[in-house]
Structure 1
Amino acid sequence: MEQVEKAVAAAVYAADDAGLDLGASLIAAAPWPEAGREILRRGEEFVRRSWERGWQPADLVRIVRRDLDDRHVRLATDLIAAENRRYARMAPRWEAQLRELEATGPWWGSDERYADELAARERTDRFSLATTLLELFRLLIRLPAIEPVGPPPGENVHVHPHAPTPDEPRMLTRIRALLAKAEATDFPDEAEALTAKAQELMARHSIDAALLAAQGQTGDAPTACRIGVDAPYETAKAILLDAAASANRCRAVWNSGLNFSMVVGFEPDLEAVELLYTSLLVQGTAAMTRAEAAQRASGRKRTKAFRQAFLTAYASRVGQRLSETTQHVTEETDGSLLPVLAARDVAVEDRAERMFPQTTSTRVRGVNDHAGWEHGTAAADRARVHPRPGVTG
């Protein structure tokens, strides 16, 4: 449709914001059903280009949420759902992201009705909707190329023998349940025991997968996934994710500019890292909130410095605990399996080096609150993950 094409050319490809109002006016004045259909077509095109540049659905929504607002996020999810109609097959991790975003298919009727149904859902005028859409298009078209972590949907889709599926292995179901209980409890000792058992099961799950591979029952190889590392205190969060990755035989590489870490490892271990990082972040944030409340009650006001120091200390100490648990479980295995585990570690490191031949180390700055560091270390000790006798799943 010519008016939509002119609007996109004026607003999306312009070097400044001067064309945004013009583009929104052109779309608002166009015949609405036809404009809605054409907006979807152009939006699908921009989403498809982002897939070709290495982005995945969760990445796209995360960057839209960071740079724009909730309405843009909802519209981005619509465009992802519309584009998803093109593909008969896609990787399991991709499908899981679509389910999480509720973007497996369009919620509207025909594409001709999209604009009207969108206006009813958002309860706003056409000009405002058009402005939001053009702002979203402009962000999508300017996304940089990033390292792909799997084929785009519809291209060379291979279901990995260890890829997550809707029917998760019983071990992962148990791990997920243990971590959920650890997040929900108000008793530090209980959270400690539950998290300890979860990490022990993760380590055993990884060893079982290595054994199957050594016996030739699977043909797995290291792969990668992206995990969001959002502000605030993203440096401390990246350290926590790196700790969870290292303890589970993975390698994490943080992209501070785009707020995510790439985690390289074997598929069962990647699943463990995602579960563990999310749970530890929830537990750490809850512990920080409780400690901060006590500090405020005593008259302290340096909240930001306290939080930064708390989370950094928590991440550092938890990393030590996770590594201890993995080492403990590994030492209990048959010694003949140690070369297999070492070979898998080398394979992960080699894959990470090929994906990221140039990485730099980041110095942690701004950790200068002694009370925050002490409280964070204590919280990590309470959440320690070394297995204890008598703990059951």
Structure 2
Amino acid sequence: MYDDKLARIRKLLAQAEDPAATTAEAEAFNAKAAELMARHGVDAALLAAADPGREVVGDLTVELLAPYAYEKGTLGAAVARGLRCSAVLRKQRGGGETAHSLHLFGHTTDLVLAEMLLTSLMVQGTGELTRRPVPPGEHPAAYRRTWWLGFASAIGRRLEEAEAAAARDSEADFAAVGTSAALVLADRATLAERSAADAYPRLRTARPRYLSGGGIADGHAAGERADLGRATRVRAADRKRLG
């Protein structure tokens, strides 16, 4: 059932990205895919509540490519949080360079959706920022760093609203199995956090960063426009999955 739904989402996304599709058709395919993605995670939680043990907490690693890898990690954390996953930003120094990656923890379905959506948003954000000229008087790097933070903020808010709406729509179904959507979804997020804490017992909260760029508002506006239903197709060799 999970595979069928994911296959349907991917098919809709592929149809939307087909050059032969009209603008209206592409918008319709994307809208339906966005609706199914928001609903799919909640449905998976409902099925797991009725059949404990159906899904396990696993993890996967997403590489964050330069430039602005740290800021892209902020976007990844927002996506993870919105889909009941926990994210740990990792830095590895070597050869005079620093490599960043995001270690995600969560239930299988939530991880699949988080990786799919994060990959799409990385591509959308990079394309948007590449096309946007840096405003006069702004330092390019400072502007783009804060742009990514604004983008992540908007995405996080939109995901929170979409997931809350999907949970409300499913409340009667959760009640039928003797629980509530809020309780089940909160439990899934808690289990993801515990898994991350077990893997990183000495994890520290990052220090606040004070950036001088003025790109937050522009990035936030781009995040409001971003399509939460369009995902890019990624080769399996380019990602590492566990769980």
Asked if 1:244 corresponds to 2:79, the answer is yes
Paired letter, 2:104? V
1:308 to 139, 145, 152: 145
What residue number does 1:283 align with? 124
Q: Shift of the alpha carbon at 1:190?
A: 9.4
2:224 counterpart residue number: 381
Residue 237 of structure 1, CA deviation: 0.5
Cα distance change of structure 1 residues 300 and 289 upon mapping to structure 2, 3 Å threshold: farther
Task: Give the counterpart letter for 2:110 in structure 1.
Answer: D
> Any residues of structure 2 matched to 1:80-99 within 5 Å, and which?
none
In structure 2, relative to structure 1, the CA distance for the partners of 1:177 and 1:374 (3 Å cut) is farther
1:344 counterpart = 2:188: yes
Cα offsets for 1:221-262 (capped at 9, x unmatched): 211111111221012110111111111111111102252111
Q: For 1:341 and 1:225, how far apart are their aligned partners in 2? A: 20
Q: Give the equivalent residue in structure 2 for 1:334.
A: 171
Contact 1:199 1:385 in 2 (8 A): yes
Q: Does residue 176 of structure 2 align to residue 176 of structure 1? A: no
* Unaligned stretches of 5+ residues in structure 2: 93-98, 230-243
Distance in 2 between residues matched to 1:283 and 1:251, nearest whole Å: 23
| Matches of 2:31 and 2:46, distance apart in 1 | 23
Give the structure 2 partner of residue 356 of structure 1: 200
Higher RCO (CA < 8 A, seq sep 6+): 2
Distance change in 2, residues 1:178/1:217 (3 Å)? same
Instruction: Give the match's secondary structure for 1:273.
Output: helix
**What TM-score, normalized by structure 1, do the two folds share?**
0.48
Aligned residue identity for 1:249:
R
Query: Where does 1:53-132 land on structure 2 (aligned, <5 Å)?
Result: none
The one-letter amino acid paired with 2:218 is H
Q: What residue number does 2:236 align with?
A: none
Q: State the alpha-carbon separation in 2 of the partners of residues 191 and 236 from structure 1.
A: 30
Contact 1:199 1:325 in 2 (8 A): no
Please say if residues 64 and 101 of structure 2, whose CA atoms lie closer than 8 Å, have aligned partners that are also in contact.
yes
Instruction: Name the SS for the 2:132 alignment partner.
Output: helix
The residue aligned with 2:233 is none
Larger radius of gyration: 1
Q: Does residue 108 of structure 2 align to residue 260 of structure 1?
A: no
Structure 1 CA distance for aligned equivalents of residues 209 and 80 of structure 2: 22
Q: Structure 1 pair 271/385, CA: closer, same or farther in 2 (3 Å)?
A: closer
Q: CA deviation at 1:365?
A: 3.2
Cα gap change, 1:362/1:191 in structure 2, threshold over 3 Å: closer, same or farther?
farther
Q: Give the deviation of 1:196 after TM superposition.
A: 5.9
**CA 1:305–1:343: 2 relative to 1, 3 Å:** closer
Q: Which sections of structure 1, spanning at least 5 residues, go unmatched?
A: 1-161, 163-167, 387-393
Q: Which amino acid aligns with 1:331?
A: R
Contact 1:244–1:322 (8 Å) recurs in 2: yes
- SS of 2:104's equivalent in the other structure is strand
Query: How many residues are paired up?
Result: 214
Q: Deviations over 1:249-293 (max 9, x none)?
A: 11111102252111000111111111100000111111111212x
TM-aligned CA distance change 1:228 to 1:303, over 3 Å:
same
d(CA) in 1 for partners of 2:159, 2:116 = 14
Aligned to 1:21: none
> Taking every aligned residue pair, what percent have the same amino acid on both sides?
36
Superposed CA RMSD: 3.3
What's the CA shift string for 1:328-368, capped at 9, x where partnerless? 11111125242332332222222222222222222453632
Paired position in structure 2 for 1:319: 156
Report if aligned partners of 1:202, 1:248 keep a CA contact under 8 Å in 2. Answer: no
- Superposed CA deviations along residues 296-332 of structure 1, whole A, max 9, x for unmatched, are 7xx5673222221211211121111111111111111
Residues 374 and 231 from structure 1, CA distance in 2 versus in 1: closer, same or farther, beyond 3 angstroms? same
TM-score, normalised with respect to structure 2: 0.74
Q: CA deviation at 1:212?
A: 2.1
Structure with more strand by fraction: 2
